Amino acid sequence: MDDIATLRRILRTCRRIAVVGLSAEWHRPSFFVAKYLLQHGCEVFPVNPRYAGGQILGRPCVAALEELDAPVDMVDVFRRSADVLPIARSAVAIGAKCLWQQIGVVNLEADALVRAAGLDSVMDRCVKIEHARLFGGLNWIGVNTRVISARRPV
């Protein structure tokens, strides 16, 4: 998806984010993304069977989306493309608004499934990078964000 207005809307409205495949290891990309989201006012819900019952970034971790005790807006997937379809089904079942497949994760069947259910779908993009590009000031350090405007994003 290259529609900047849609990406901006998703990132502005989806503030409760389940991170599927979130690692407790500080050097993993999923950890960086979750920490960034927390620092920018989002609620993060770790989902990883390896750490279920424990905590990641001070948040209780569950094994599956169905085990969450609160609603989420976005399901952010850090898993192999082949593993996404059941996660997409779960995202629809729990009433999420968006399925976000991280960089390198592309499952067209999952994309079609969630779109048919009325969810937004983003593939092969990083939530952290897109948020920083559209809201976080990457342009201040000379990164070409492909967004030209004299107004600050809302």
pTM of the model: 0.88
- The average pLDDT across 56-82 equals 98
Instruction: Give tens-digit pLDDT for 96-109.
Output: 999 999 999 999 99
Domain 4-141, CATH number (from 3.40.630.10, 3.30.360.10, 2.40.10.340, 3.40.50.720): 3.40.50.720
Residue 122 phi, psi dihedral angles, 5° rounding = -130, 135
DSSP result, 9-48: HHHHH--EEEEET--SSTTSHHHHHHHHHHHTT-EEEEE-
Domain ranges of the chain: 4-141
Mean pLDDT of the chain: 91
Cβ-based neighbour number of residue 66 at 10 Å: 10
- The average pLDDT across 62-77 equals 98
By C-alpha distance, which of 38, 37, 73, 34 is closest to 51? 34
In single-letter form, the type of residue at position 56 comes to: I
User: So what's the pLDDT on residue 137?
Assistant: 64
